[in-house]
Chains A and B, each alone.
Chain A
Amino acid sequence: MPQRQLAGTRIRERRIMARMRQADLAQRAGISASYLNLIEHNRRRIGGKLLVRIAEKLSVEPSVLSEGAEAALLSALREARAAAPGAGAEADTVEEFASRFPGWAALLAERQKRVTDLERTVEALTDRLTHDPHLAAALHEMLSTVTAIRSTASILADTREIEKEWRDRFHRNINEDAARLASSSQALVSYLDGASEVEASATSPQEELEAFLAAQDYHFPSIEDGSGRISDLVNDTPMLQSAPARGLARMWLERYRSDAEALPLEALKRAIGVQGVDPARIARRFHADLAAVMRRMASLPADSGIGGVGMVSCDASGTITFRRPLDGFALPRFAAACPLWPLFQALSRPMVPLRQHVVQPGHGEGFLTYAISQPSSVVSFDEEPLFEAHMLILPATRVAADDVREIGVSCRICPREGCAGRREPSILAEGF
């Protein structure tokens, strides 16, 4: 029986173990009880966001539902081994270890997960401290104000004879700067108080757009069926606060509409069901370009049956312009990404489709990526074309080691040693 069909049985088992009624779980997961019933009896396929959501409501890892507890345990043990290649753990005895010492194996797996979670937090906080523009601006403002106070106070203290006009002016300056310092330090404390939700606050129009798209799960049914207007979608949401963010959203949604017209949803889902997830095959089927196919695949609804999908796009400077996160594939929030990503290879080889299995050290088993770089606007004879690149990211398991390219997240938080792509030292490894 295919694994996806078994997922329904596992959901049912886990729900009963959690003493949860079917209707309650359905409501929490945002689906109808009858639909959950079909899933639990393996009469509907389940994957992607819905599986993740149900797993979250049942307090289990998604892989426990999709692959079974034993597979999840083995996967975690393999991850632990991959994270410490020098420790000498034997690859061929992992299953024996798990079956002979299930308690110890579960403990090791749990510790590995904890380490990975903590590393993620360190990564996110370091990323923030190093690259968060809001934090950098706030600290600059505070240090400048402190400098002004220090310098002015020294003048008042050290200058024996000072004209009244200057003295009054410096007193006023100190008073103003002290008030400013109080207010900026309070603002900074409030900002850092929110740091437990490291990914939460949007600090730029691009981040407002990303938060807006993520809230919609990157899918807009009213554009798919032609019933909605882009201007309404953009103007009716409180998530797009700034005019630049609304402008970016309009551009993004216009392209979404044009992609949806070229690759209608139902036809695309059928084509993926028949042809698989290879974007080149889908592109041939619809006579569409590869980038449009990738964008469409990254905007499919959760119930489309292709499981998790991530995507990253960048402009010709390598600046990330779009990111759809995928569980396990770490994306930097502020820092520049790893130059080894196929996304950037694609940028240096315009119009050449690239398919590459990749793995990030300490971040799961691996991913299949498809990348392409294409002109971002209509080409003309009078100007050089500007290119943009897209990289579609799909989960991949059991990939032969020879076919995998090891990539990082961002130099600052990357443990890879002797990497030709390194541009700054890492906090996780010695040296440059």
Chain B
Amino acid sequence: MGKRVLVIEDEPNIIEAISFLLSREGWHVDTHSNGHDAADVVRAKAPDLLILDVMLPGRSGYDILTELREDEATANLPVLMLTARGQSKDRDLAERLGASRFMTKPFSNAEVLEAVGELVP
């Protein structure tokens, strides 16, 4: 079975584009679009990589990441965070909370593929 990625993002057309890109690279892609139960979905799907948006309806990506890092089962899960805010303090916060990689919108497909390739070689 191929590698599994879970994309948690509330913008359906970004989900569609990322899903297309990664499935072409051999990934099995699961998606989810709200923050409320996002941490439970991560635990249930147990992906090899999580792509997580910061601004989600219901719960912030930062809060979700914090919960995941406190859980032994997901403490080391590679997480690529996506955000529309690219200030250094946002980057610092993401790193402090345990994000493996931080990417500012609008990003290019090449950047996504490169980051994914580095996080899960």
Give the chain B neighbours of A159 by CB distance below 8 A.
24
Q: Is the CB of B84 within 8 A of A144?
A: yes
Closest to A154 in B: B109
What is the total of A-B residue contacts with beta carbons within 8 Å?
58
Give the chain A neighbours of B84 by CB distance below 8 A.
139-140, 143-144
Quick one: CB contact mask for B95-121 with A, threshold 8 Å, 1 for yes?
000000000011111001000000000
Q: Is the CB of A173 within 8 A of B107?
A: no
A152 to B19, CA, bound (A): 11
Question: Is A197 in contact with chain B by the CB < 8 A criterion?
Answer: no
Give the chain A neighbours of B112 by CB distance below 8 A.
151
A166 to B21, CA, bound (A): 12
A91 to B105, CA, bound (A): 53
Give the chain B neighbours of A154 by CB distance below 8 A.
108-109
Question: Is B75 in contact with chain A by the CB < 8 A criterion?
Answer: no
Chain A interface mostly helix, strand, loop or mixed?
helix
Partner of A143, one of B10, B20, B106: B106
Q: Is the CB of A152 within 8 A of B13?
A: yes
Question: Shortest beta-carbon distance, A18 to chain B, in Å?
Answer: 49
Q: Is the CB of B18 within 8 A of A151?
A: yes
Q: Is the CB of A155 within 8 A of B109?
A: yes
Closest to A137 in B: B55
Indicate whether A144 sits within 8 Å of B11 (C-beta atoms), given known contacts A150-B108, A151-B109, A158-B109.
Answer: yes
Considering the complex, which residues of chain B in the window 1-41 have a beta carbon less than 8 Å from any beta carbon of chain A? 10-11, 13-14, 16-18, 20-21, 24
Interface size, chain B (Cβ < 8 Å): 20
Give the chain A neighbours of B10 by CB distance below 8 A.
144
Closest to B9 in A: A144
Question: Is A114 in contact with chain B by the CB < 8 A criterion?
Answer: no
Closest to A130 in B: B87
A170 to B109, CA, bound (A): 14
Q: Is the CB of A144 within 8 A of B109?
A: no
Q: Is the CB of B105 within 8 A of A144?
A: yes
Q: Is the CB of A144 within 8 A of B14?
A: yes
Question: Is A169 in contact with chain B by the CB < 8 A criterion?
Answer: yes
Q: Is the CB of B55 within 8 A of A177?
A: no
Considering the complex, which residues of chain A in the window 139-153 have a beta carbon less than 8 Å from any beta carbon of chain B? 139-140, 143-148, 150-152
Partner of B17, one of A139, A140, A143, A151: A151
Give the chain B neighbours of A254 by CB distance below 8 A.
none
Q: Is the CB of B13 within 8 A of A143?
A: no
Considering the complex, which residues of chain B in the window 28-64 have a beta carbon less than 8 Å from any beta carbon of chain A? 55
| Chain A residues in the interface with B (C-beta under 8 A) | 139-140, 143-148, 150-152, 154-155, 158-159, 166, 169-170, 173, 176-177, 424
> With contacts A147-B14, A150-B107 known, what are 16 further pairs, Cβ within 8 A?
A140-B85, A144-B84, A146-B105, A147-B107, A148-B11, A148-B17, A150-B106, A151-B106, A151-B108, A151-B109, A152-B13, A166-B20, A170-B20, A176-B13, A177-B13, A424-B89
| Chain B residues in the interface with A (C-beta under 8 A) | 10-11, 13-14, 16-18, 20-21, 24, 55, 84-85, 89, 105-109, 112
Subset of 23 A-B contacts with CB under 8 Å: A144-B10, A144-B14, A144-B84, A146-B105, A147-B11, A148-B11, A150-B106, A150-B108, A151-B17, A151-B21, A151-B106, A151-B108, A152-B13, A152-B16, A166-B20, A169-B16, A170-B16, A170-B20, A173-B13, A173-B16, A173-B17, A176-B13, A177-B13
